Structure 1
């Protein structure tokens, strides 16, 4: 009990989406007792801690002091809407990011990751004294810094990983993941972008989301979760990063030409809707014409004339840094079991954060109803 880490109990409980009262009921103590454990005023008895480990589905060693731990606060992440997410859901998301960093840290002891190359980033904070604060100019400056030229970015997520960012795409909160939505934080040794599988069924939406979160990292060193102005600025950054007006402007039609839009969509990796929006931004079409375009797209979607392509068809838009790092370490003898023991996680948790999911077959007893 002398090595009990109360912060680890909080982390495990919030990852499980449990309140103190719910955990207390399962363990057989009062909610006040759990509060005292987490506040480090009174340590739990060994039998209570074993039961808590069972309830929270972690090894009992998970609660031990001594392992690297980067604690985050929910205010350190760019959540899109505070009204659509509960406090417990945001807490689960933050704890997931903490564990993503722990996994990366464990792998970095064995494999050299790309150095972080994000303007203004140092030591878990963004300080851009000389970097543009205007979203469009910031997007142009990042293209210059990363030597992306002025044309389409074929592999946005791979590009982000190549420049040292951590990017994930796993259902970190189960069925709650879509409600929490994508988010990002710069308050870790590596800037981290969390993308969500619900947006990955449309590669164009997925790419815009990644660019949006990248905009938050660069523009908003002091996050204001749910702030509408910051969200608008991140959208403006994403649009300019993916389709620089200097390059896309001469290519856009001055009317609703869907054949032209489709060709540009394929070439630039953006949606038809975003191209119409760009036409409106650049004054090529009126607001009324743009609305008709959006209505046309909605009709085509309903008729099945526009079929979104999933990210799985585009390897360059699927995060792979952690998985590739593990593959290199595995060649030197690291196994998922060894890694799980080091992190004091269960093996399925390691698989999940590596992006492998659960490969075990789903079985049921013969004779039972589905």
Structure 2
């Protein structure tokens, strides 16, 4: 993905990378070691206010971060929701297309953003790093001081479902926030998780596909290619320059629309 972006930058100016401490391939001089502080600082730097974030993927792309949703091909990698790296001239976030629920998808994008901000030296699978990235994602998507008054002090899935839609986070994440803020006791939390598991097993809480939310589907490189086409750049030209198959170009730029074509008779 980075190679493709680098090639497209020969023809189109992509958004500059806007991350605290970013220096073209690494995070330098970054004192944002606390995930909640880092989330607060980044929200302020990006001018996001304290409310819900409408489009997580579009937000990352607007800040110069390459995002893709791709199949993970090995059995081990398919266990992951996403991965990222800040060890290239542009940060890259790759989300697992099998995790096709928009709330989990948004949290994964925020989680990987947390890694980019907090962990210049990545240690894949490090439990402490993963917990920090989770804490960052929760604080970034649902700042405690902004959502605290809306969270129910008793388990109310109707109210939580409304908050899920307005804040764009999962019921799971909201239950964790309730526990973190002292609104639910351990016993209440346990009952809530059992109830949530039961509702899902009964099919009463179906997943919400990512495809229904255009702002959560990467478009930066596809739009860059559309602009490059005006300068005579074709899929074959990109493939030749990169020594790739044209099919790889089409896959990574989302040029093949999987929806069936409607033919009027």
Give the TM-score taking structure 2 as reference length: 0.93
CA deviations on 1:30-82 (whole Å, 9 max, x unpaired) are xxxxxxxxxxxxxxxxxxxxxxxxxxxxxxxxxxxxxxxxxxxxxxxxxxxxx
The answer for the alignment partner of 1:243 in structure 2 is: 142
Q: Is the 8 A contact 1:242 1:270 kept in 2?
A: yes
Partner Cα separation in structure 2 for residue 294 and residue 337 of structure 1: 52
Cα 1:331–1:174 shift into 2, 3 Å: farther
Counterpart in the other structure of 1:148: 48
Within 2, Cα distance between the matches of 1:282 and 1:358?
Answer: 44
Q: Which residue of 27, 37, 50 corresponds with 1:137?
A: 37
**Alpha-carbon deviation of 1:353?**
1.5
- Cα deviations by residue, 1:326-354 (Å, 9 ceiling, x for unpaired): 11111222111111111111111111221
CA deviations on 1:235-254 (whole Å, 9 max, x unpaired) are 00000000000000111110
- 1:303 matches 2:202: yes
Deviation at 1:175, TM superposition (A): 6.7
Partner of 1:39: none
Contact 1:348 1:358 in 2 (8 A): no
Deviation at 1:295, TM superposition (A): 1.1
Q: Deviations over 1:289-343 (max 9, x none)?
A: 1111111111111111111111110010111111111111112221111111111
Query: Where do 5+ consecutive residues of structure 2 fail to align?
Result: 261-265
**Does the 8 A contact of 1:143 with 1:149 survive in 2?**
yes
Out of 234, 240, 259, the residue aligned to residue 341 of structure 1 is 240
Alignment of 1:1-370 (within 5 A): 100-129=1-30, 131-171=31-71, 173=73, 177-199=77-99, 201-356=100-255
Counterpart contact for 2:72–2:78, Cα < 8 Å: no
**Residue 179 of structure 1, CA deviation:** 3.1
Structure 2: distance between partners of 1:120 and 1:349: 33
Summarize the Cα distance change of 1:357–1:229 in structure 2 as closer, same or farther, 3 Å threshold: farther
What secondary structure does 2:138 align onto?
helix
Question: How many positions carry a matched residue from both structures?
Answer: 259
Cross-structure match for 1:32: none
- Contact 1:203 1:311 (C-alpha < 8 Å) held by counterparts: yes
Higher relative contact order (CA 8 A, sep 6+): 2
Q: CA deviation at 1:128?
A: 3.6
TM-superposition CA deviations, 1:195-220 (whole Å, max 9, x none)? 11011x11000000000000000001
**Does structure 1 conserve the Cα–Cα contact (< 8 Å) formed by 2:15 and 2:63?**
yes
- Partner Cα separation in structure 2 for residue 143 and residue 248 of structure 1: 15
TM-score (norm 1): 0.68
* Superimposed CA distance per residue, residues 180-209 of structure 1 (whole angstroms, 9 cap, x where no aligned partner): 54111000000111111011x110000000
**Are the aligned partners of 1:171 and 1:177 in contact in 2 as well (CA < 8 Å)?**
no
Distance in 2, Cα, partners of 1:161 & 1:305? 34
- Separation in structure 2 between the aligned mates of residue 170 and residue 358 of structure 1, nearest angstrom: 14
Query: Take 1:261 and 1:160, find their aligned partners in 2: how far apart are those partners?
Result: 26
Q: Deviations over 1:129-175 (max 9, x none)?
A: 3x421111110000001000000000011000000000111115377
Distance 1:158 1:113 in 2: 14
Root-mean-square deviation (CA, aligned residues, Å) is 1.7
CA distance in structure 1 between the aligned counterparts of 2:172 and 2:153, rounded to whole angstroms: 15
